[in-house]
Amino acid sequence: MAKRNEKPRSQPGRPLPVRVEAFLGRLAVQKGYSDATVAAYGRDLDQFDLFLRTRGAGLDDPAAVTRAHVQSFLADLHRRGVKKSSMGRKLSALRTFFHFMAEQGVVAESPLEGLANPRQEKRTPRALNVDQAKALLETPREDDAVTRRDLALAELLYGSGLRISEALDLDVRDVARGAQEVRVLGKGGKERIAPLTHAAREALDRWLAARGELATGESDALFIGVRGGRLQRRQAARIVAELCKRAGLPEAISPHGLRHSFATHLLEAGADMRSVQELLGHARLTTTQRYTHLNLAHLVAVYDKAHPGSGNPKK
């Protein structure tokens, strides 16, 4: 048995408890969860199982897991400086797992019943301004296959507001030449239509014309790496960071930051909240409302600059 002061960590290749494997399979097959979400739930449950084993328990016997186990797990995460957002995600994985166990009659009641998520820190979504976004997409660079791929990816993230997982899950057949929209599979297996801007369409056509230089014939993925396999999230993050660097931006932004920028700029241009919600594929309007404070900041800046009552004298 591991010592009580050891830090439980996910161990790649370690067999998961049979009930956890069954649960993950249900998420993928019956619930339509994305591969990335299923993998994240698997890591979180594996970490909790490792923690339980330092307490003489485990997810191979869910009925023996108590509320005190969960609270101790949260306390351990807090001591190790895990962000509250990450703690909330882990609790979500545990709730979903034990709800499944209750449905199967394995447990009488979830040990998380009535247990609230840690209060989340209020964070401002990072976004580029319009000039920065333009610089990132239009800075002159080499015209080779890799560059065309990188720009096509950035155009989809910013021009169509796709999640990075949605963009990387696309296959070549999903973006027929000349099409003005793309069908994507979002969170929870929900399908939506995302419009393609003229710039995105041009960038995609240019990339498709050069894709054969990297393709090995073994992958149908739209975005592939230099070895021909489907592009991965970490590679995409490095691509966006490099585009930011080449554009001379003071700080790099994540692929999701381009999606934030898409939403922010739409609101600043006067788009209504419901339309932006549909474009982003948000299930709840409250999720989209995170961007309203950015739009408000833009309006306040305009007010301070131009309104006679702002206290700033006209020049």
Task: State pLDDT tens for residues 20-36.
Answer: 999 999 888 877 788 88
Higher pLDDT, 207 or 273: 207
pLDDT value for 54? 93
Catalytic residue among 90, 149, 260, 282: 282
* Alpha-carbon gap, residue 165 to 199, rounded angstroms: 21
In the chain, % of residues over pLDDT 90:
35
Catalytic residue among 33, 41, 158, 291: 291
Same fold: 1-123 with 130-304: no
Sign of CA dihedral 202, 177, 197, 154: negative
Asked whether the beta carbons of 214 and 228 are under 8 A apart, the reply is yes
pLDDT digits (tens, 9 = 90+) for 219-278: 889 999 988 889 999 999 999 999 999 988 888 888 988 888 888 888 777 776 777 777
Catalytic residue among 19, 90, 201, 259: 259
pLDDT value for 289? 59
Mean of the per-residue pLDDT values of the chain:
81
Task: Confirm or reject CATH 3.40.50.1820 for domain 1-123, answering yes or no.
Answer: no
Catalytic residue among 187, 206, 246, 298: 187
Asked whether the beta carbons of 166 and 184 are under 8 A apart, the reply is yes
pTM: 0.57
282 catalytic residue (yes or no): yes
Domain spans, the chain: 1-123, 130-304
- Residue 169 pLDDT > 50: yes
Beta strands in the chain (DSSP E): 181-185, 191-195
Catalytic residue among 89, 256, 290, 298: 256
- Residue 299 pLDDT > 50: no
Grade residue 315 by pLDDT with cuts at 50, 70 and 90: very low
298 catalytic residue (yes or no): no
* Alpha-carbon gap, residue 228 to 219, rounded angstroms: 7
Start-end of H helices in 54-197: 67-79, 84-103, 130-138, 145-159, 164-168
The third-level CATH classification (topology) of the domain covering 130-304 is: hpI Integrase; Chain A (1.10.443)
